[in-house]
Structure 1
C-alpha cells in the first residue's frame, strides 16, 4: 500500500487538474458561446444546464461507487468522456446557426454529466484518507484552488493570442491530463462495494441537511449571474482575456 502522504499527493493532483478544467471552462466558455453568436438567454441556458445536471447526476455517480466500489474506473470514464465532448464542441459551433444552440446543449449536457462525478468521488477518497483530520483534508483540497488560479490566469494570455476558439482544446488537454492522473491512483483508494444505506427520502427529511441545502441554493443563486455573464461584462468594458482571467483569479485568492 502506498504511504498516506503519496496517496494524499495523488488526490491533491486530481483536485488541481479538475479545478484547472473549471478555471478554463467557467470564465471562458461564455466568451466562446458569445463568439459563436449566441444570445444572452442561450448562454445563460447553457450555464444553467450544468447546474441542473449537478442536482441529479452526483448521486448517480455516488450510487455506482457504492454499488461497485471501482472508483478509479468511474473517474477515468468520466474524464475520458469529458475529453471527447470537449473535442466535439467545436463541431457544434461550426453548424448552421439554427442548429448550433441545440447541438451545443447536447454536447454540454454530456460534458456536465461526465464531469459531475469528479468532485464527489474525489471527496469520498480524500475524506476517507483524512480520517477526520481537517488539516490533512484542507492540504489536499487547497490544490483545487491552486489549479483554478493557474488555469484561469495562465489561459487568458493564450486566448488573447489564439482566440477563444482555443478553449475546447485547452479543456480537452486538461481532461486528458486528469485521465492519466487518475491512472496513477493506487488501488488503496478504491472503496469497498456496499449495499445502499439510508434511503434518500429519509436523509432529505433531516432538518440539518435541509438547512444546508437551502443555504447552498441561495449561494448558487447569488453567484449564478457571475458564472454566466461576468466575463462577458468585462469583455464589454474592453478588458482583455488576460485581465478577465486575473479578475477571476483574484476572486479565488480572496476565497
Structure 2
C-alpha cells in the first residue's frame, strides 16, 4: 500500500494516476506523428502544438478555479475528459492548417487541464490526511509504460493515415473517464492553521468541501508570493527547453537517425523515472525541494545537449535514462514546491494556474521557437539551443528562488 494514506485510499490514487497517463502515452509521442501524416512541415507542427499547449495557459486556471469554487473537482475533471475524446476524433477529418489549429485549440481546452486538476485533488487530500505523493504518482509512470507496451506492437509508429492513433486516443480517454470515481474526496475536519477557512460537508459527486467563496483576484493575491513567481518563471523556461524533446523527438529519430519505432525508445523515459518519483519524498527531505528541481535542470541540459551530438541509437538510449531527472525530479519538485507555498484551500487554483503558465505557456513558446529553429537549421541545433537555455535557467533558479526552509507560511518554516 502507498505510504501514509488511509487503508485502501493509496491503491485508488495509484490506479487513478495510471489511468490518467494512458492517453498521454499515446499523444506525447504520436500527436506529432499524426500531424506529419497530415502533411505538415516541422514549423507548422510546432505552431499547431504551440497552440494546443497555449490552452494550458488559459484553460487549467479556469477549470481549477471552478473546481475550488463549486467544490466538485471530480465532476469538473470528468467533464474535461468526456469533452476531450470526441474533439480529438476530429483530427480524422482535418484538412488544412487553420482546421488543425482549431481542433488543437479545442482539444487543449479540455486535455491540458487533466494533470493539474488531478494533482489539485491529490494535494488537497494529502494536506488533510497525509500521504506520500511520489508513492502514488508512480501509478502514472506504470500506466504510461503499460500503454506503450500495448500500442507500439499494434503499429502506431508505422501508421500511414493516423486512424489507429486517433482510435487509440479516444479509447484511452474513455478508460480514463471510468477511473474518475476512484479519486477519493478530501472531506475531513479542517486543518490546524486553516480553521475557519472551511468546514466539511459529505456527499456529492465531487466530494464537496465547503470553502469561503473568494474572488478570483483575492485568490491570485494569496497565491502570487515572490517565491511562487520566481519559481514559476524558472519552470516556464525549463518547459520551453524541454519542448524540443516533447514536440520533436519522434521526428528527430525518424529524420536524423532513421528510427521509425519511436515508442520503444520513448518507453525508456518512464521506466527510468519510477525510482526517483517513488523515493522523491525522502530525497526532498534530504536535499530540499528546490535543489531536486535544480538536478532536473542539470539533466535537461545534459540530455538535450547530448541529442544535439548523438550519432546513433547507442548514444540516444543512455540519454533517455536522464528522464529520471528531466521529468521525475522536475515534476515531483515543482508540484511539491507549489503545494507548500500556497494556502491549502487554493490547491486546485494554484496547481492549474502554475500548470497553465509553465506547461501551457512554456510548451507553446517552446513549440513555436523549436519548430522555427528545426525548419531553418535542423533538429540538432534546436536541441543545442534548448540545452543552453536550461543552463541559464539553472543560474536563475539558484539566484532568485529560495529554499522552502526560507519561505514562511503560517509562521512555520517549511523545507
**Is residue 220 from structure 1 mapped to residue 239 from structure 2 by the alignment?**
yes
Structure 2 vs 1, CA of residues 169 and 222 (structure 1 numbering), >3 Å: closer, same or farther?
A: same
**Cα offset, 1:137, TM superposition:** 1.6
Higher helix share: 1
Alignment of 1:140-159 (within 5 A): 140-158=136-154, 159=156
Instruction: Output the CA distance in 2 between the equivalents of 1:152 and 1:219.
Output: 25
Instruction: Output the CA distance in 1 between the equivalents of 2:124 and 2:130.
Output: 11
Q: Secondary structure at the match of 1:125?
A: helix
Q: How many residue pairs were aligned?
A: 244
Per the alignment, residue 121 of structure 1 pairs with 117
Query: Is 1:27–1:231's contact at 8 Å kept on the other side of the alignment?
Result: yes
Max Rg structure:
2
TM-score (norm 1): 0.86
Query: Is 1:25–1:171's contact at 8 Å kept on the other side of the alignment?
Result: yes
Q: Secondary structure at the match of 2:21?
A: helix
Residue in structure 1 matching 2:84, options 75, 82, 92: 82
- Residues 17-48 of structure 1, C-alpha deviation per residue, up to 9 Å, x if partnerless? 22121110011111111111111111001211
**Cα offset, 1:191, TM superposition:** 3.8
Alignment of 1:61-210 (within 5 A): 61-92=63-94, 95=95, 100-131=96-127, 136-158=132-154, 159-160=156-157, 163=160, 164-185=162-183, 190-194=207-211, 195-196=213-214, 198-201=218-221, 203-204=223-224, 206-210=225-229
Residue in structure 2 matching 1:251, options 264, 269, 272: 269
Query: Is 2:54–2:105's contact at 8 Å kept on the other side of the alignment?
Result: no
Query: Is 1:76–1:183's contact at 8 Å kept on the other side of the alignment?
Result: no
Q: Secondary structure at the match of 2:209?
A: coil
Unpaired runs of at least 5, structure 2: 188-205, 273-320, 325-415
Structure 2 vs 1, CA of residues 88 and 191 (structure 1 numbering), >3 Å: closer, same or farther?
A: same
**Is residue 235 from structure 1 mapped to residue 233 from structure 2 by the alignment?**
no
Q: Secondary structure at the match of 2:164?
A: helix
- Residues 40-96 of structure 1, C-alpha deviation per residue, up to 9 Å, x if partnerless? 11100121123221122111111101111112211111111111112222122xx3x
Per the alignment, residue 14 of structure 1 pairs with 16
Instruction: Output the CA distance in 2 between the equivalents of 1:143 and 1:33.
Output: 29
Query: Is 1:8–1:126's contact at 8 Å kept on the other side of the alignment?
Result: no
More RCO (CA 8 Å, sep 6+): 1
CA RMSD of the aligned region, Å?
2.3
Structure 2 vs 1, CA of residues 233 and 144 (structure 1 numbering), >3 Å: closer, same or farther?
A: same
Structure 2 vs 1, CA of residues 50 and 15 (structure 1 numbering), >3 Å: closer, same or farther?
A: farther
